[in-house]
Amino acid sequence: MKKFVLLLLLTSSPAFAHAKLVGYDPAANASVKSPTMIKLKFSESLEPAFSTASLSDSAGKILPVPKSVGGATITLLPIGLKPGAYHVNWQAVGHDTHKLSGSFVFKVIP
């Protein structure tokens, strides 16, 4: 029994108990060539019905971008982004019904 408990504790994955953003591509404040995919990875599985992300340009205009939510990832598929600064705003709801939100910026270079 002790071994089992120890195994559980040692194999614990990062535990936040709320869906936190743990990885994203492009990275925040990165300068990249026009990306065709923006990936946001969260610490736990999301509720697709209430989790979303949007992309807006430097003027604050929200761009129509196909998106999908699956498992612990939100994916945006932009096409032909022009050089400039872009904001990614996200809202993540985990199975525990708690909501977290945030945003980051990246820059597209010619």
Partner 1 sequence: MILGAARGVYYVATMLLFGGSAFETLLRAKLPVITPLRWQSLRWAVLILALLAALAWLGLAARQMADRLDGQILARTATDTLFGQIFLLRLVSLLGLTLLMTFRRCRKLAVALAALALALPAATSHAAQASPAGFIAIGATLDGVHLLACGFWIGGLAVLAMLFRRKEPNIHLALSLFSDGAIVAVMLLVMTGLINAASILLGHGTPAPLYLGVLGTKLALVAVMLGLAAINRFRLMPRAYDSMIPRNAALELGLGLTVVMLAGALGHLQPVL
* Among 33, 58, 77, 99, contact with partner 1 (rule: CB under 8 A): 99
Applying the rule CB under 8 A, the residues between 31 and 90 that interact with partner 1 are: 44-45, 47-50
Residue 7 is inside which H or E element, if any?
helix 2-10
Nearer to partner 1, 48 or 70 (CB): 48
Number of chain positions touching partner 1 (CB under 8 A): 24
**Contact residue for partner 1 among 3, 15, 61, 80 (CB under 8 A):** 15
Backbone angles phi, psi at 10, to 5 degrees: -70, -30
Q: How far is CA 83 from the centre of its chain?
A: 22
**CB half-sphere exposure, 98, CA atoms < 13 A:** 9
Is 2 among the residues that bind partner 1 (CB under 8 A)?
Answer: no
